[in-house]
Structure 1
Amino acid sequence: MARLVTLYSLQWGDLSLEEVCVKAKAFGYDGLELGLPDHLDVRQTDPAYYKGIKDLLEKYGMQLRTISSHLVGQAVCDKIDERHKSILPDYIWGDGDPEGVRRRAAEELILTARAARVLGVDTVVGFTGSPIWHLLYSFPPVPQSTIDKGYQDFATRFAPILDEFEKLGVRFALEVHPTEIAFDTFSAQRALEALDHHPAFGFNYDPSHLGYQGVDYVDFIYQFPDRIFHVHMKDAYWSDTPKQVGVFGGHVPFGDPRRFWNFRSVGRGKIKFEEIIRALNAIGYQGPLSIEWEDSAMDREHGARESCEYTKRLDFQVSGHAFDAFFAK
């Protein structure tokens, strides 16, 4: 049986959840990945609220396997500044005191795990933020002890959150991504080690964030076969020739043609999704393939529809026997 193809609702936050359901069904999706805070309020305690969401999804034949808290999760470990005010709910930002913001974001993540449990979902995707991302380029030289302290700070802040996740039977899948504590294979391994391989911690695999960095995004799957908790299908294009703006993205917006790389609709960039599907089959991943659509140069409805069609056409299940098995007759 093919994997579910779902649509991440965060990029559709200007629409009501019912409007997203209507569109997703028309585009051919099997379900949704609900994005916070636009399409789910985890502060709600009334069971009727969650029943209403489940009933709405069922009405349109949308399955739910994942909820996501990227924006709030970003604030748990980040160096907080005015940028965060634009992405956080007012009740998380509060007076903007950095430690208060981090504390409220951590509390919200725990509420997110509780909401997931009520909804019958076992995976929360999100960001962690990072206290050391700003030190990525090591000049002035950054002592290794400073990087070590950054991972220690991450573990101190996130381990209690993960303990609560584990109690609830819910997993946290960090989207490996620039600005997070894990942004490539090496830093993902360090994050796991910092948490002493906490059973509730794994990864949301999104190849678009690895490819343009020069990271082997297929090998990443084989490095963490038991920690790929969820998969985003998102493409990226990077230039074969020098551009005005390099791999760091400069100070120009996403979609600017002067950039070395940009996100693309699935199948229109350089990510080799065929190899990804084969690798996911090899590790036995049976979770959703969730479309996180972020192509600045394309109409989102066109992109969402063709991304669903492309992914369903590409996905296939592993063979039940070797092709040459009949020779044994």
Structure 2
Amino acid sequence: MNTIKGPALFLAQFAGDAAPFNSWTSITAWAAECGYRGVQVPSWDARLFDLEKAAASKDYCDTFKGEAAENGIEVTELSTHLQGQLVAVHPAYDTAFDGFAAPAVRGNPAARQDWAVDQVKKALTASRNLGLTAHATFSGALAWPYVYPWPQRPAGLVEEAFDELARRWLPILNHAEDCGIDVCYEIHPGEDLHDGISYEMFLDRVKGHARANMLYDPSHYVLQHLDYLDHIDIYHDRIRMFHVKDAELNPTGRQGVYGGFQSWVNRAGRFRSLGDGQVDFGGIFSKLTQYGFDGWAVVEWECCLKHPEDGAREGADFVNAHIIRVTEKAFDDFAGAGTDRAANRRMLGLGD
């Protein structure tokens, strides 16, 4: 067993143009003041991080880590959620997702995809330069518009989509292997990898690639009424990253899982600040500890009601209260009889 590291904070929801959220030095100082020991870095946000420099220069990475360390903060992982999304985009979402890309490739899906693949590979190289072991991303989606089987899906449609998704990701996974970095797909609605079965479909097509792993976020499982504790029992060998995020699902006679096109605050399924939702974090931390998860507990703040700075400060305390310092001895050691093999054989009636 291992003691889970933490608390850490995903900075994507906090980076901004106003101090202290507009520079690497000031945002890490703020995170430390909130009680965090680590931060997960959105690789696309130039206010905090220069991906091109990080991929090309270990000196840049050493300086980047050093500035955080001066504030008592470790870099836990890099994220390419936005770039990973663009590795596979169904044409229905071309316009919606175009803003995630560099201006030079917008409006050109093929160029945008090439750019996205290059971005993820650079982030993996940068992760190696930073001395990290895991990387957060999205899978993207080709089949997502057909997640509900109406109209009836033609035979082979989903299989073709997953074949193509695997084809696009396999070179990236191979680069991850070269870098010694686990690619951790956040299992998330809107992605083709949105539950255990879809992850298995992908994993089968990349031939069980050792670097194709999971980012576990129970909030997304609550909203699709999936057993998030059993999920750990099934996939613990592949869970290499953990987002600590709360959620609630309160279905009514008017709406349920799909939400009826309502805003977040009016949906049956809503993201909440830690402790305000329905997730059994005691059960989650216990299972992850039992299975030897040795990564970081990273708070991803998303809430339809609470102010983000309040959620961040409360989140650090919440994670600290749930991290289990593993024991080095059994609770009943005081009653040990100090027996040996001969005594054991006598107890079994086998003689000496």
TM tier relative to shorter chain: over 0.9
State whether structure 2 residue 223 is matched by structure 1 residue 221. no
Larger Cα-atom Rg:
2
1:33 alignment counterpart: 40
Q: 1:320, 1:152 → 2: CA distance?
A: 46
Q: How does 1:11-30 map to 2 (within 5 A)?
A: 11-14=13-16, 15=21, 16-30=23-37
- Mark the runs of 5 or more structure 2 residues left unpaired by the alignment: 338-352
SS at match of 1:13: coil
1:43 alignment counterpart: 52
Q: 2:26, 2:290 → 1: CA distance?
A: 37
Can you list the C-alpha shifts for 1:192-246, whole angstroms capped at 9, x where unaligned?
112111011100000000112111111111111211111000000111x406443
1:134 alignment counterpart: 145
Distance 1:73 1:318, change over 3 A: same
Question: Contact 2:85–2:139 at 8 Å: present in 1 too?
Answer: yes
Question: Contact 1:243–1:260 at 8 Å: present in 2 too?
Answer: no
Which of residues 100, 103, 109 in structure 2 aligns to 1:87? Answer: 100
Alpha-carbon distance, 1:327 to partner = 3.8
Q: 1:243, 1:90 → 2: CA distance?
A: 45
Q: 2:317, 2:243 → 1: CA distance?
A: 15
Question: Contact 1:36–1:69 at 8 Å: present in 2 too?
Answer: yes
1:97 alignment counterpart: 108
- Mark the runs of 5 or more structure 1 residues left unpaired by the alignment: none
Q: 2:202, 2:79 → 1: CA distance?
A: 20
TM-score, scaled relative to structure 1: 0.94
State whether structure 2 residue 279 is matched by structure 1 residue 279. no
Q: 1:326, 1:181 → 2: CA distance?
A: 52
1:146 alignment counterpart: 157
The residue identity in structure 2 corresponding to 1:31 is: G
The residue identity in structure 2 corresponding to 1:264 is: R
Alpha-carbon distance, 1:140 to partner = 0.8
State whether structure 2 residue 262 is matched by structure 1 residue 252. yes
State whether structure 2 residue 298 is matched by structure 1 residue 297. no
Distance 1:95 1:37, change over 3 A: closer
SS at match of 2:97: helix
Q: 2:329, 2:34 → 1: CA distance?
A: 34
Which of residues 46, 53, 59 in structure 1 aligns to 2:70? Answer: 59
Q: 1:201, 1:7 → 2: CA distance?
A: 23
Q: 2:4, 2:160 → 1: CA distance?
A: 43
Q: How many residues align?
A: 324
Can you list the C-alpha shifts for 1:169-198, whole angstroms capped at 9, x where unaligned?
111000000011211121122221121110
CA RMSD, aligned part only?
A: 1.6
